[in-house]
């Protein structure tokens, strides 16, 4: 998508690392691969907006913490604590 070889994509990432917070590992997650990918898309490919939808059975606290102070990043999940 970023290199304009295809027009859209849907990525299912497992494990997402969604418990790793910006300043520390948590919940067996060392790195937040979803946050790293989102930051890469913005920095390297100039994405204006990035949406992260977490469909795990529990809250991705690390991803939410990372997105909170970012402009044009969106985080949503299907767990009651979101």
For the annotated catalytic residues, the residue numbers are 19
Contact 17, 33 (CB under 8 A): yes
- Give the Cα separation of 47 and 72 in Å (integer): 9
Torsion of CA 11, 61, 29, 79, to 10 degrees: -60
Write the DSSP symbol of residue 58: S
Report which secondary-structure segment, H or E, holds 4.
none
């Amino acid at each position: 998508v970023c290199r304009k070889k295809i027009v859209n994509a849907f990525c299912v990432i497992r494990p997402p690392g969604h418990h790793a917070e910006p300043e520390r590992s948590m919940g067996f997650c060392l790195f937040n691969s979803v946050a790293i990918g989102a930051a890469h898309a913005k920095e390297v490919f100039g994405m204006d907006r990035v949406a992260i939808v977490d469909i795990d059975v529990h809250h991705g606290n690390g991803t939410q913490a990372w997105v909170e102070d970012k402009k044009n990043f969106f985080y949503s999940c299907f767990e009651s604590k979101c």
